[in-house]
Structure 1
Amino acid sequence: EVISKEAVMDFTQRYIEPTRNIHPSFFELTMMMAFDYFAACKVDVAVIEVGLGGRLDSTNIITPDLSIITNISFDHVQFLGNTLPEIAKEKAGIIKPNIPVLIGEAEGEIRQIFIDKARCENSPIYFAEDIKPIIHSRLEDSGKWIFESNKYPNLTGELGGFCQEKNAATVLAAIELLQQMNYVIPDKAVYQGFRNVTKLTGLQGRWQRINDIPKVICDTGHNIGGIQYIVRQLNSEKYRTLRIVIGMVNDKDINGVLSILPQDAIYYFTQASIPRALPAQEMMQKGLAHGLIGTHFPTVKEAYKKAINDSDPSDLIFVGGSTFIVADLLSFLKQKCLTTKM
């Protein structure tokens, strides 16, 4: 359930002035709001996701029952480091003394960094890839996954996207570990959660299909770790022409992402409505350096409308590169829908 506007207003009235002198970031202030609200609501369980990373992340003041690190990719490099091992060491900062940690995906040097950190903290460490909670899986034409596991046969996952195969394994491994800690998680809850995750949480932008003719997909993947799955999935699609509406924020590995995107697509370079957005024209110049041909647009709305107008019914439009690009798109479509209804 989304926090009420009244609760947000109450929090800001109480804390904006007292915190002004320390200049908290938006994330720090909203994290503080969340923790304050969870305490007031006396929640049974809080699932807390880090912001930039682990060691110095403002969420790292908590002592969890279980720490989870999904995977490591180039992200927030100016804060976390320029190499994957450097980033992994920062992410490993959430590993707490004597608190178990689950790793979704890691190999080689990265895996060893987590093992070494867990040993230093005397923390039990588990790898979803070793637990192997999923026997096999398949992606249905509907865009939903069917996962087969010993404990949860024929488990339907609502979220699309190739990356959900790894995510589902991590989730099922986490559930198994939590049950060993005496968490009561009925099988029925697991089936309902996987089948209705969007409905239950409002989560959007995970290989989300927002139009059929032409087919339009949006996804919030914004680093090489996420984009590599998107590229694989785009390659598996059937279409006449692939059109990609893309923009990124300036603290990502932009060249790394552009280097793996398909060169046979038509690009609509754009920028999200936030200060951190890389200007669309600069995005286009970087794209050209990697053989990606297209034009630039000052807003996601203009880029998307042009892509739609250019499209044949059998074309495929992909919108992504940033959570904020997808947010701008969904906001525009929602407003358009409201205007049409009025």
Structure 2
Amino acid sequence: MDHSSGSDAILERLLSLHPKVIDLSLDRMERVLGALGNPEARIPPAIHLAGTNGKGSTQAMIRAGLEADGSRVHAYTSPHLARFHERIRLAGELISEPALAHHLARCEAANDGQPITFFEITTAAAFLAFAETPADWTLLEVGLGGRLDATNVMTPALSVITPVSIDHQQFLGETLPEIAGEKAGIIKRGVPCVVGPQEDAALAVIEARAERLRAPLLAYGQHWHVWEERGRLIFQDERGLLDLPLPNLPGGHQIVNAGAALAALRHLDASEDACEAAVTRADWPARMQRLTRGPLIEASGTAELYLDGGHNPAAGEAVAAVLATLPKRPTHLVCGMLNTKDIGGFLRPLAAQAVSLTAVSIPGEANTLPAQETAAAARAVGIDADTADSVRDAVTAITASDPAARILICGSLYLAGRILRENG
């Protein structure tokens, strides 16, 4: 198949239009959208999600709920895992190759060679696709931050802010209030906003902005509550109680993500069936996903293989909490990370659960942390660590010494994506 005119070739060219991978500002975005006739003003009613952790899972649950009620739903997420098309879902289906190439080519022509980041121009392509494909709802996940994120160029029907914690300090600020201020930048005048559990300092910033813009808040602990009771998920708001199965996405942290999704769905008058579907039918890969096929499974013998893309301290805590609930087996980590992350913060919570860590460099990734440095960071938090040339070598070595192992490949969505391309 000739890719020279397809999306791959265009995406490759678009990567070279701006020297910086990330440059938070809205003027380039507004310029290209203007040249395209402002498609962002014509998309179906939008639900806009920001937050440090849980945006993707919460969005997946909202989508499952809306679709169970018969709605056609567009969805925008990032980054992708195996292929770019995953970022743009049109009325329930991943965007086709011809449609993606067509919309990207139009954006490239409209931009006319001017500086624009890869994320900005591909977000413009998503808006174009959403505006020209009929649907009932558009789910938009913020790429980074909120206030100056490329998605923040439209007025949604509902905003959602999932838990805010420290990540991406080089772009969003060093303190929790600064970062919360960036996330709260998605709040629009008069538009209701669902807020997941927050530290007090973050909540104060979100509340102040909402008050200034007269945006009604639907906040965890005030307007809605969610908890686990006797193996069920209980959700309560002013409309009453919901008694639902636990989320199909594993981990205690998915309880609060489900709560935010349910608060959003109830605000949109979704049915009780939709609320149940939200927690039982969400699909979100590389979140403590059990691998069941592919070359790595063949190499792993009787070991259990899991994959997770989380990479910051809150994700490390969430993964450690899931591991603690699984049946007892020695857990070995295979970890590759980017050099922009808080490696110690991610690994520290995992130290109590992991017997060993084998560090790898992420193949084909310029910003990978060298395996030696990941291993050193693991030793510094008390995990016995070694390095391997590849994930497959790591898995083979672990299973040779511990056939009953549980192996978790973790540390980066980029690493997770490579694994899923070959084993998903």
For the superposition of Structure 1 and Structure 2, which TM-score range results when normalised by the shorter chain? 0.7 to 0.9
Number of residue equivalences: 318
- State the secondary structure of the residue aligned to 1:87: helix
**Equivalent residue for 1:122?**
214
**Equivalent residue for 2:286?**
205
CA contact (8 A) 1:301 1:332 kept: no
The residue type paired with residue 285 of structure 2 is Q
Q: CA deviation at 1:36?
A: 0.6
**Equivalent residue for 2:67?**
none
- State the secondary structure of the residue aligned to 2:151: helix
Q: CA RMSD in A?
A: 2.2
1:95-152 CA distance string (max 9 Å, x none)? 111111111111321111111111122211121232344353466xxxxxx4234543
1:197-221 CA distance string (max 9 Å, x none)? 22xxxx2112212259422222222
1:65-123 CA distance string (max 9 Å, x none)? 11111011222111011222221111111111111111111132111111111112221
**Equivalent residue for 2:383?**
292
Distance 2:149 2:397 in 1: 39
**Equivalent residue for 1:234?**
323
CA contact (8 A) 2:218 2:224 kept: no
Unaligned runs of 5+ in 2: 1-92, 293-300
Pair 68,138 (structure 1): closer, same or farther in 2 beyond 3 Å: farther
Give matches, 1:26-45, under 5 Å.
26-45=118-137
**Equivalent residue for 1:168?**
258
Pair 52,138 (structure 1): closer, same or farther in 2 beyond 3 Å: farther
2:273 is the alignment partner of 1:188: yes
State the identity as a percent: 31
CA contact (8 A) 2:246 2:255 kept: no
As a proportion of its length, which structure holds more helix?
Answer: 1
Under a length normalisation based on structure 1, what TM-score does the superposition of the two structures give?
Answer: 0.85
Pair 101,247 (structure 1): closer, same or farther in 2 beyond 3 Å: same
- State the secondary structure of the residue aligned to 2:351: coil
Kindly indicate whether structure 1 or structure 2 has the higher relative contact order, using CA contacts under 8 Å at least 6 residues apart: 2
**Equivalent residue for 2:204?**
112
Give matches, 1:271-310, under 5 Å.
271-273=361-363, 274-310=365-401
The residue type paired with residue 333 of structure 1 is N
**Equivalent residue for 2:64?**
none
CA contact (8 A) 2:319 2:350 kept: no
Pair 289,69 (structure 1): closer, same or farther in 2 beyond 3 Å: same
- State the secondary structure of the residue aligned to 1:97: coil
Under a length normalisation based on structure 2, what TM-score does the superposition of the two structures give?
Answer: 0.69
More moved, 315-324 vs 255-264: 255-264
**Equivalent residue for 1:265?**
355
Pair 306,84 (structure 1): closer, same or farther in 2 beyond 3 Å: farther
Unaligned runs of 5+ in 1: 140-145, 180-184, 335-342
The residue type paired with residue 302 of structure 1 is D
The residue type paired with residue 345 of structure 2 is G
2:239 is the alignment partner of 1:148: no
Pair 298,52 (structure 1): closer, same or farther in 2 beyond 3 Å: farther
2:408 is the alignment partner of 1:318: yes
Runs of 4+ off more than 6 Å: none
- State the secondary structure of the residue aligned to 2:414: helix
